[in-house]
Amino acid sequence: MRLSRYFMPTLKDNPSEAEIVSHRLMLRAGMVRQSSAGIYSWLPLGYKVMRKIEQIVREEQDAAGCQEMLMPTIQPADLWRESGRYDDYGQEMLRITDRRERDMLYGPTNEEQITQIFRDSVRSYRELPKLLYHIQWKFRDEVRPRFGVMRGREFLMKDSYSFDVDKDGARRSYNKMFVAYLRTFARMGLQAIPMQADTGPIGGDMSHEFIILADTGESEVYCHPDLLTFDSFNADVDFEGDLQPIVDKWTSLYAAADEKHDPGNCPVPADQLITRRGIEVGHIFYFGDKYSKPMDAKVTMADGSEVFVEMGSYGIGVSRLVGGIIEASHDENGIVWPASVSPYDVGLINLKAGDDACASACDGFFSQMKAAGLDVLYDDTDERAGAKFANMDLIGLPWQLIAGPRGLKNGVVELKNRASGEREELSFESALSKLTA
Amino acid sequence: MRLSRYFMPTLKDNPSEAEIVSHRLMLRAGMVRQSSAGIYSWLPLGYKVMRKIEQIVREEQDAAGCQEMLMPTIQPADLWRESGRYDDYGQEMLRITDRRERDMLYGPTNEEQITQIFRDSVRSYRELPKLLYHIQWKFRDEVRPRFGVMRGREFLMKDSYSFDVDKDGARRSYNKMFVAYLRTFARMGLQAIPMQADTGPIGGDMSHEFIILADTGESEVYCHPDLLTFDSFNADVDFEGDLQPIVDKWTSLYAAADEKHDPGNCPVPADQLITRRGIEVGHIFYFGDKYSKPMDAKVTMADGSEVFVEMGSYGIGVSRLVGGIIEASHDENGIVWPASVSPYDVGLINLKAGDDACASACDGFFSQMKAAGLDVLYDDTDERAGAKFANMDLIGLPWQLIAGPRGLKNGVVELKNRASGEREELSFESALSKLTA
- Do A330 and A21 meet the contact criterion of CB atoms below 8 Å apart? yes
Answer for the pair A172, A129: CB distance below 8 angstroms, yes or no.
yes
Kindly identify which residue of chain B lies nearest to residue A131, measuring between CA atoms.
B7
Report the gap between the CA of A13 and the closest CA in chain B (Å): 14
Nearest-Cα residue of chain A relative to residue B121: A9
CA distance B317 to B330: 20
- Contact (CB<8Å) A76/B143: no
**Which amino acid, A225?**
P
pLDDT at A403: 98
Q: Among residues A171, A381, A44, which one has the least CA distance to residue B65?
A: A44
- For A391-432, the pLDDT digits (tens) are 999 999 999 999 999 999 999 999 999 999 999 999 999 999
Q: Do B42 and A102 touch (CB under 8 A)?
A: no
CB contact under 8 A, B43 and A130: no
* Mean pLDDT within B369-398: 97
Q: How many C-beta atoms surround the C-beta of residue B106 within 10 A? A: 26
Task: Give the pLDDT mean for B303-325.
Answer: 98
Task: Please list every residue in chain B whose beta carbon sits closer than 8 Å to the beta carbon of residue A76.
Answer: 35-36
**Contact list, A73 vs chain B (CB under 8 Å):** 73, 137, 154
Q: A147 — alpha (psi -120 to 50), left (phi > 0) or beta?
A: left
Q: Would you state the pLDDT for residue A61?
A: 98
Taking a C-beta distance cutoff of 8 angstroms, is the pair B319, B156 a contact? yes
Q: Whole-number mean pLDDT of chain A?
A: 96
**Which member of A5, A47, A69 has the closest CB to residue B69?**
A47
List of chain A residues whose C-beta atoms are within 8 Å of the C-beta of residue B41: 69-72, 113, 117
**A390 phi and psi, to 5 degrees?**
-60, -40
Residue B200 — pLDDT band, cuts 50, 70, 90?
confident
State the nearest Cα–Cα gap between B77 and chain A, in angstroms: 10
Question: Which residues in B lie closer than 8 A to residue A94 (C-beta atoms)?
Answer: 74, 96, 98
Q: A130 contacts in B (CB within 8 Å)?
A: 7
pLDDT higher than 90, residue B5: yes
d(CA A180, CA A63): 8
Taking an 8 Å cut-off on Cβ atoms, the answer to whether B74 and A106 are in contact is: yes
Q: For strand A298-300 and strand A330-331, is the pairing parallel, antiparallel, or unpaired?
A: unpaired
pLDDT, residue B338, reads 98
How far apart CA A82 and CA A113 sit, in angstroms, is 11
| pLDDT score for A211 | 96
Residues 6 or more apart in contact with residue B285 via CB below 8 angstroms? B197, B199, B206, B207, B312, B313, B314
Question: Which element (helix H / strand E) includes B91?
Answer: none
Reference B2, options B321, B340, B363, B391; nearest CA is B363
CA dihedral A12, A15, A21, A27 (to 10 degrees): -70
Beta carbons of A154 and B99 less than 8 Å apart:
no
Q: Answer yes or no: do A76 and B36 touch at CB < 8 A.
A: yes
What angle, rounded to 10 degrees, do the helices at A21-28 and A318-328 form? Answer: 100
- Cα of A98 to nearest chain B Cα, Å: 7
CA distance B401 to chain A (A): 24
A74–B106 CB contact, under 8 Å: yes
Residues in chain B: 437
Burial tier of A371 (Cβ tally within 10 Å: 0-12, 13-18, 19+): exposed
E strand or H helix that includes residue A355: none
Query: Could you report the per-residue pLDDT of A113-124, keeping only the tens digit for each?
Result: 999 999 999 999
* Chain B residues with beta carbon closer than 8 angstroms to that of A382: none
Residues of B in contact with A104 (CB under 8 A): 36
Within 10 angstroms of residue A414's Cβ, the number of other Cβ atoms is: 17
Which pairing describes strands B346-350 and B399-403: parallel, antiparallel, or unpaired? parallel
State the average pLDDT for chain B: 96
Query: Is the previous residue joined to A263 through a cis bond, with omega within 30 degrees of 0?
Result: no
Q: Which of B1, B36, B123, B240 to mutate to test the interface with A (most CBs of A within 10 A)?
A: B36
Measured between beta carbons, the chain A residues lying within 8 angstroms of B102 are 36
Measured distance CA(A94)–CA(A212) in Å, rounded: 29
Distances (CA, A) of B366 to A156, B132, B375, B379, B432: 35, 42, 10, 10, 11
Cα dihedral A53/A324/A317/A209 (nearest 10): 120
Answer for the pair B161, B197: CB distance below 8 angstroms, yes or no: no
In this complex, do B70 and A6 lie within 8 Å of one another by their Cβ atoms?
no
Asked if A73 lies within 8 A of B104 by C-beta distance, the reply is no
Among B69, B116, B149, B153, the residue to mutate for chain A (most A Cβ within 10 A): B69
Distant-in-sequence contacts of B229-232, Cβ < 8 A, 24+ apart: B232/B182, B232/B185, B232/B186, B232/B190, B232/B191, B232/B192
Q: What is the dihedral of CA B40, B45, B48, B54, to 10 degrees?
A: -40
The contacts of residue B397 (CB under 8 Å, 6+ apart) are B337, B342, B343, B344, B345, B346, B347, B377, B418
**What pLDDT band is residue B216 in, cutting at 50, 70 and 90?**
confident
- Is 80 exceeded by the pLDDT of residue B6? yes
Output phi, psi for B253, to 5 deg: -110, 145
Read off the pLDDT band of B273 (50, 70, 90): very high
What confidence score (pLDDT) does residue B201 get? 73
pLDDT on residue B204: 77
- Sort residue A38 into left (φ over 0), alpha (ψ -120 to 50) or beta: left
Q: Calculate the CA A51 to chain-centre distance.
A: 10
Sign of CA dihedral B127, B130, B134, B139: positive
Q: pLDDT for B244-257, tens place per residue?
A: 999 999 999 999 99
Q: Inter-chain contact B47–A41, Cβ cutoff 8 Å? A: no
Cross-chain CB nearest to B39 (options A68, A74, A91): A74
> Which residue type sits at B242?
D
- Sequence-separated contacts (24+) of A408-412 with Cβ below 8 Å: A408/A357, A408/A358, A408/A361
Residue B218: which pLDDT band, with cuts at 50, 70 and 90?
confident
Contact list in A for residue B99 (CB cut-off 8 A) is 91-92, 141, 143
Q: Which residues contact residue B66 at a Cβ distance below 8 angstroms, ignoring those fewer than 6 apart?
A: B131, B132, B133, B160, B176, B177, B180
The two beta strands, B330-331 and B219-223, are unpaired
Helix (H), strand (E), coil (C) string for A162-217:
EEECCHHHHHHHHHHHHHHHHHHHHHCCCCEEEEECCCHHHCCCCEEEEEEECCCC
Of the candidates A282, A247, A286, A295, the one whose C-alpha atom is nearest the C-alpha of residue A168 is A286
Chain B residues whose CB is inside 8 A of the A70 CB are 41-42, 47, 50
Check: CB of residue B39 under 8 Å from CB of residue B154. Answer: yes
**Does the distance separating the beta carbons of A98 and B42 come in below 8 Å?**
no
Is the Cβ pair B47, A70 closer than 8 Å? yes
Question: Is B339 a residue whose pLDDT tops 80?
Answer: yes
Divide the 437 residues of chain A into consecutive groups of 10 and give the mean pLDDT of each group.
97 89 97 97 98 98 98 97 92 96 97 97 96 98 92 97 98 98 96 89 85 90 93 90 96 92 91 95 96 97 98 98 97 98 98 95 98 98 96 98 97 98 98 96
Residue B332 has pLDDT above 90, yes or no: yes
| Residues found in chain A | 437
Q: What is the spatial distance between Cα A117 and Cα A42, in angstroms, rounded to a whole number?
A: 31
**How many residue contacts between A and B have a Cβ separation below 8 Å?**
132
- What residues in A contact B111, CB-CB < 8 Å? none
Return all residues near A100 (Cβ < 8 A) that are at least 6 apart.
Answer: none
Contact A75/B33, CB-based, under 8 Å?
Answer: no
The string of DSSP codes covering B265-308 is: G-SS-TTT-EEEEEEEEEEEEEEETTTTTTTT-EEE-TTS-EEE
